[in-house]
Amino acid sequence: MKVLQFPLTRITIVFITGILFSYFLKLTPFILFVFLAIPVTIFIAAYFSNKRNTKFQFHFGIATYLLAFSIGNITQTVHTDSYQQNNYTHCRNIFDQNYTFTLTLREKLKNSAFNERYIAIINSIDQEKFTGRIILNIRKDSLKHSLAIGNQLKINASLYKNTPQKNPNQFDYQKYLENKQIYAQLYAEPSEIQLSSEIVKDIWYYTAQLRSRIIKNLEKNKFHNKELNVAVALIMGQQQEIDPEIIQDYQYAGAVHILSVSGLHIGFILLFITLLLKPFPNTRKGAFIKLLITLAALLLFGILAGLAPSVVRSVTMFSFVAIGQYLRRSVNIYHTLLVSILLILLFQPSFLFDVGFQLSYVALFFIVWLQPLMAKLWQPKNKILNYFWDILTVSFAAQIGTLPLSIYYFHQFPGLFFVTNVIVIPFLSIIMGVGCLVMVFASFNWVPFYLAKILEISIFYLDKIIGSIASLEQFIIKDIPLNAPLLISSYLVIITTIISFEEKRFKNLVWALSATIMLQLSALVTKWEVQNQDELIVLNTSKNTQLVERNGTAATLFANDSLLKNSKKNMLLSSYLTANFSTLKEKHRLNNLMYFKGNKILLIDSSMAYPKSIRPDILIITQSPKMNFDRLLQTIKPKIVVADASNYKSIQKRWKMTCDQQKIPFHATSEKGFYKIN
């Protein structure tokens, strides 16, 4: 694998390792800056030693990697907003009382059922200068004025810290927001907002205005709303208004990647720009002007698409391709990938933890590496056959590369992805070409009727095809379990197998067999660990009580009749079972008395029907029963009290005070998350 021989590859890997080291250990900036001086000193000494005598070349290499590791540390720390002293998290009692905030709206998010949602930048808190990103939620029931990006608001309210996930194996929204440097949310009624007459007219303001103008002009020309939302997602990367059912269809069909602007879309944009600039003379000055226009157009498109990680990656990479073409040098795609990774992570290290960024680079790497090998298996002479064969090999290369990562994050696999891509990519080329023209004209307040109709009809039939493929649910494999050891060993198997086919050597075959054995060992260790686990979980659910008992791979659900009937649609349960390599074997109605691993468990609900003479180890309270709680505790004397989220919060506070008085531990799942007995 020649790419590993590039010094830039090893430097990039070490740099990323430095980012990960700082991210997980969370060392303070002072310590990191002190330790940065050591590798800088070693690097300078090694550089001059190597210059005088080449026998020190090895030492210079080690010093370079050490410096790259330290720069990765510093980069992650410097770009973590919570370390900045003027970040709002350092404001005293920020999450405990009301403050007056001045904010600037930066980005519109997808609305929730009750709120208009924005990413906002804090300018000041009680007239004291602070900064930082938050999510602003504004009640949309009585919203009388529309807000625009760049608006400055004044709001007196409380900040709410992002809460961690309160059920096992669920998507960690708190961590997701932290990776985007968002640590809190603010909720406001429209009547509480003071709108400033001043607007911050920066690049975000102008691009938001341009997007709004394009969308309004298309709406005026009676562009169907459903197709318009898909067009805006495909061409401008804005998915806020797209129908969730359409997104699900694209996921099931294995085509969700085309709704997020990525390399495929930017490639079409670069081709479109190149065609438009063909009349320019091929002189040195003309070529330089073409380069500047191309780079500016790619940057503008990236900003229009919201600078998502996949967009930044694609724009950066194709910018290097354009620069390489201007210099008339053959662009080494591996070098382009590596340089784009380094540049992006140097300015936005948090992108490393974005799923889209990871999938995007892995897919592109395998397309560049594996697709040429697959294309050699068959080389049809017919141009049309060759075109579709190329599409098929690109799809398989990308799917093979992203398969373990996709299963790790999403636990499903669309079996008809190759059919989807063979059909979708020709459609997408038409949509991107026509769509770019329509969007450009719409930005100048003119929408050509026939072009707009072609775009609308193309998207209509694209959605129909995607919906038809997605309806074949027997080809969608769901709830596939995969943990980190299996993920790593899966990639080792894939990479070593490809290398052994690429270079047929005995050594490579040994590596491939060793990786396969490692995968089998990972599977055996995982199976052994799961089979030796026994636990009872009290889930944090607000309306209905749910308990899950798991003995190895066999799980039992305890709930009311309605939940038991719809257990297959229970996403909370499904996530837990998948993550723990388990299946639901039994379903039972909730009992007042349960036993688990020597613990006697008493459950009291609103019916207040329970054995009065029981002395339980664990008392579980659900559905806000009316009772004399103090007397109950003195009578049954439990070792711990657990209240799930089906109880009123006001009652839980009183129960907690009572437990504190009697020195009995109290666990509220709405506050502390699920309760586990193991």
- Quick one: average pLDDT of 549-564? 90
**What's the pLDDT band for 494 if we cut at 50, 70, 90?**
very high
Q: Does the pLDDT value for residue 328 go beyond 70?
A: no
pLDDT attached to residue 4: 61
Buried b / exposed e across 330-364, counting CB within 10 Å, b at 16+?
eeebbebbbbbbbbbbeebbbbbbbebbbbbbbbb
The model's pLDDT over 147-188, given as tens digits with 9 standing for 90+, comes to 888 999 999 999 999 888 899 988 888 999 999 999 999 999
Task: Inform me whether the pLDDT recorded for 1 exceeds 60.
Answer: no
What pLDDT is attached to residue 440? Answer: 84
Q: Please give the pLDDT value at position 641.
A: 94
Q: From the options 3.40.50.300, 3.40.50.720, 3.60.15.10, 1.10.10.10, give the CATH code of 534-677.
A: 3.60.15.10
In tens, the pLDDT along 356-407 reads 888 888 888 898 888 888 888 888 888 888 888 888 888 888 889 999 999 9
195: left (phi over 0), alpha (psi -120 to 50) or beta: beta
pLDDT, tens digit (0-9, with 9 covering 90-100), for 597-622: 889 999 998 888 777 778 899 999 99
What per-residue confidence (pLDDT) applies to 38? 82
CA separation (Å) from 258 to 286, 418, 420? 34, 14, 11
Phi-psi region of 223 (alpha: psi -120 to 50; beta: other; left: phi over 0): beta
Q: What pLDDT is stored for residue 27 in this prediction?
A: 77
pLDDT of 31: 76
Q: Are the folds of 88-200 and 534-677 the same?
A: no
Answer yes or no: is pLDDT of 309 > 70. no
Q: Quick check: 416 and 399 in contact, CB under 8 A?
A: no
Q: What is the pLDDT of residue 478?
A: 87
Rounded to 5°, the CA angle 159-161-167 comes to: 145
88-200: which CATH architecture? Beta Barrel (2.40)
Convert the pLDDT of each residue in 186-239 to its tens digit.
999 888 888 888 888 888 888 888 888 888 988 888 888 888 888 888 887 777
If DSSP codes are grouped into helix, strand and coil, which group holds residue 421? Answer: helix
Q: What pLDDT digit, counting tens, does each position of 372-382 carry?
A: 888 888 888 88
Share of the chain above pLDDT 70, in %: 96
What is the tens place of the pLDDT at every residue in 49-75?
777 776 667 777 888 889 899 999 899
pTM as predicted: 0.85
Token couple for 456: 């609308």
User: Domain limits of the chain?
Assistant: 2-78, 88-200, 208-371+416-478, 484-531, 534-677
